[in-house]
Structure 1
Amino acid sequence: MTHHPDHDVELYRDDGTYRVFVDLPGFDPEDIEVTWVHHRLTVSARRTGGPGSSRVFDHQVNVPRAVDDDGITATYREGVLDVELPVDRGADPPGRRIEIEE
């Protein structure tokens, strides 16, 4: 069964994997482009209908942890794009703690 998001885009963390659900009804898989660059998932979809009719969707999602780039998968069912981004358990979270000097 496909999860239908309450919003256009939803991000969840589920047991070591981030999941991004994007509601894209009416698009075909070949209309959708998914890219991953520098902790950011970008989803773009373009569909041209009849004369003067087109639909465009562009959205970026920042992911707060390092991701195993090779393990990213995406599926599209019933108008919902589901992208799974496995957390890279060997990487430290971005950023660092700042010590306070007295």
Structure 2
Amino acid sequence: MSTLVKTHFANPSYLNGFFGKDLFNELAAPAFSGSVPAVNVVESTEGFRIEVAAPGLQKSDFKLNLEKNQLTISAQKEQKEEEKNEKYTRREFKYASFQRTFTLPNSIDGDKIEATYNEGVLSIALPKREEAKEKPARAIEVA
């Protein structure tokens, strides 16, 4: 079974958790409602699932990148509001973005990673390689 480690820069006491170094862009984080979206990591016999709570975004706002066992999840949303009347024009631009990077264990099959976005939750399936899956116990006959 793989041991996963998660690190929060804001609170270094959380060194034991999941998925290697959980790096995120501190500069981009405040633009996304003041924080980085909440993340759940679920392990099963078949693999892992990362769930990112990101309501108000569209699936086209997300970008996922896998490079050297590092999965980077980022999103950027731009909103423009414009109001015109005879005396003035008001334009407001709002930007929201975040980025999180997870170091994946070697047991993950990077070629089979899939992502879906439904009802404000980005769900990323990280299947384990066949050789990394836990095998059921079996009796061995002595010859």
1:54 corresponds to 2:95: yes
Q: Which of these residues, 35, 38, 41, is aligned with residue 11 of structure 1?
A: 41
Q: How many residues align?
A: 85
Alignment of 1:59-78 (within 5 A): 59-78=100-119
| Structure (1/2) with the larger strand percentage | 1
Q: What letter matches 1:87 in structure 2?
A: K
Gaps of 5+ in 2: 1-36, 81-91, 133-143
Alignment partner, residue 130 of structure 2: 89
The TM-score normalised by the length of structure 1 is 0.74
Gaps of 5+ in 1: 1-6, 92-102
Maintained 8 Å contact 1:39/1:66 = no
Over the matched positions of the two proteins, sequence identity in percent amounts to 29
1:21 corresponds to 2:51: yes
Structure 2 CA distance for aligned equivalents of residues 19 and 62 of structure 1: 14
Runs of 4+ in 1 over 6 A off after TM superposition: none
Instruction: Please identify the structure whose Cα radius of gyration is greater.
Output: 2
**SS class of match (1:90):** helix
* Structure 1 vs Structure 2 CA RMSD: 1.6
Q: What letter matches 1:55 in structure 2?
A: A
